[in-house]
Amino acid sequence: MKRVDVVLGLQWGDEGKGKVVDVLTPRYDAVARFQGGPNAGHTLEFDGCKYILRSIPSGIFQGGKVNIIGNGVVLDPILFRNEAEELAKSGHDLTKRLCISKKTHLIMPTHRLLDAAYEAAKGANKIGTTGKGIGPAYTDKISRNGVRAGDIFLDFKNIYAKAKARHEAILSSLNYPCDVAALEAEWFEAIEYMKRFSIIDSEQTVNDMLAADKSILAEGAQGTLLDVDFGSYPFVTSSNTVCAGVCTGLGVAPGRIGEVYGIFKAYCTRVGSGPFPTELFDETGKRLRDIGHEYGAVTGRERRCGWLDMVALKYAVMIDGATALIMMKSDVMNDFDVIKVAVAYDTPQGRTTVFPYNIESGVTPVYREFKGWKCDLRKVRRYEDFPQEFKDYVSFIEQQTGIPVKIISVGPDREDTIVR
Ligand code: GDP
Ligand code: IMO
Ligand code: MG
For ligand 1, say whether the CB of 410 is within 6 Å of any of its atoms.
Answer: yes
Q: What pLDDT was estimated at residue 299?
A: 79
Q: What pLDDT was estimated at residue 358?
A: 84
Q: Which of 138-152, 201-215, 353-367 bottoms out in mean pLDDT, i.e. has the lowest?
A: 353-367
For ligand 1, say whether the CB of 380 is within 6 Å of any of its atoms.
Answer: no
Please, which pLDDT band fits residue 388 given cuts at 50, 70 and 90? very high
How large is the average pLDDT for residues 286-312? 94
Tell me the backbone φ, ψ of residue 207, rounded to 5 degrees.
-70, -35
How large is the average pLDDT for residues 382-388? 97
Rounded to the nearest angstrom, the distance between the alpha carbon of 40 and the centre of ligand 1 is: 13
How large is the average pLDDT for residues 278-303? 94
Q: What pLDDT was estimated at residue 157?
A: 95
Give ion ligand 3 contacts, CB < 5 A: 14, 41, 297
Burial environment of residue 6 by CB neighbours within 10 A (0 to 12, 13 to 18, 19 or more): buried
Q: Which of 42, 105, 111, 167 is catalytic?
A: 42
Please, which pLDDT band fits residue 296 given cuts at 50, 70 and 90? confident
How large is the average pLDDT for residues 174-197? 93
Whether residue 298 is predicted with pLDDT greater than 80 in this model: the reply is no
Q: What pLDDT was estimated at residue 1?
A: 84
Whether the CB-CB separation of 21 and 59 falls below 8 Å is answered with: yes
Give the closest residue to 148 by CA, choosing from 217, 74, 220: 74
Q: What pLDDT was estimated at residue 119?
A: 96
Q: What pLDDT was estimated at residue 156?
A: 97
Tell me the backbone φ, ψ of residue 131, rounded to 5 degrees.
75, 20
Give the closest residue to 262 by CA, choosing from 303, 305, 224, 229: 224
The yes-or-no answer on residue 413 being catalytic is: no
Q: What pLDDT was estimated at residue 48?
A: 96
b/e string for 150-180 if b means 16 or more Cβ within 10 A? bbbeeeeeebbeebbeebeebbeebebebeb
- The residues, any chain, with a CB within 8 Å of residue 80's CB and separated by 6 or more, are 38, 55, 56, 190, 194
Cis peptide before 234 (omega within 30 of 0): yes
The pLDDT tens digits of the residues spanning 55-82 come to 999 999 998 899 999 999 999 999 999 9
Q: What pLDDT was estimated at residue 179?
A: 85
Q: Which of 85-89, 244-248, 347-351 bottoms out in mean pLDDT, i.e. has the lowest?
A: 347-351
The yes-or-no answer on residue 111 being catalytic is: no
How large is the average pLDDT for residues 213-239? 97
> Using CA atoms, how far apart are residues 380 and 116, in angstroms rounded to an integer?
45
Give, using CA atoms, the residue closest to atom 7 of ligand 1: 43
Rounded to the nearest angstrom, the distance between the alpha carbon of 122 and the centre of ligand 3 is: 25
Q: How many residues does the chain have?
A: 420
Whether residue 162 is predicted with pLDDT greater than 80 in this model: the reply is yes
DSSP letters along 218-259, please? EE--S-GGG-TTTSSTTSS-SS--STHHHHHHHT--GGGEEE
Ligand having the closest approach to the CA of 376: 1
Q: What pLDDT was estimated at residue 297?
A: 79
β-bridge mates for residue 308, sequence order: 341
b/e string for 308-318 if b means 16 or more Cβ within 10 A? bbbbbbbbbbe
Whether the CB-CB separation of 187 and 108 falls below 8 Å is answered with: yes
Give, using CA atoms, the residue closest to atom 13 of ligand 1: 43
The pLDDT mean for the chain works out to: 96
Whether the CB-CB separation of 77 and 191 falls below 8 Å is answered with: yes
The pLDDT tens digits of the residues spanning 98-123 come to 999 999 999 999 999 999 999 999 99
Q: What pLDDT was estimated at residue 300?
A: 87
- Type and span of the H or E element at 312: helix 310-320
Rounded to the nearest angstrom, the distance between the alpha carbon of 275 and the centre of ligand 2 is: 14
Q: Which of 63-72, 175-184, 326-335, 400-409 bottoms out in mean pLDDT, i.e. has the lowest?
A: 175-184
Rounded to the nearest angstrom, the distance between the alpha carbon of 267 and the centre of ligand 1 is: 12
pTM above 0.95, yes or no: yes
Q: Which of 10, 44, 236, 271 to mutate to test the pocket of ligand 2 (most atoms within 8 A of CB)?
A: 271
Whether residue 361 is predicted with pLDDT greater than 90 in this model: the reply is no
Q: What pLDDT was estimated at residue 72?
A: 98
* SS3 category, 152: helix
Whether residue 146 is predicted with pLDDT greater than 80 in this model: the reply is yes
> Using CA atoms, how far apart are residues 83 and 81, in angstroms rounded to an integer?
5
* SS3 category, 95: coil
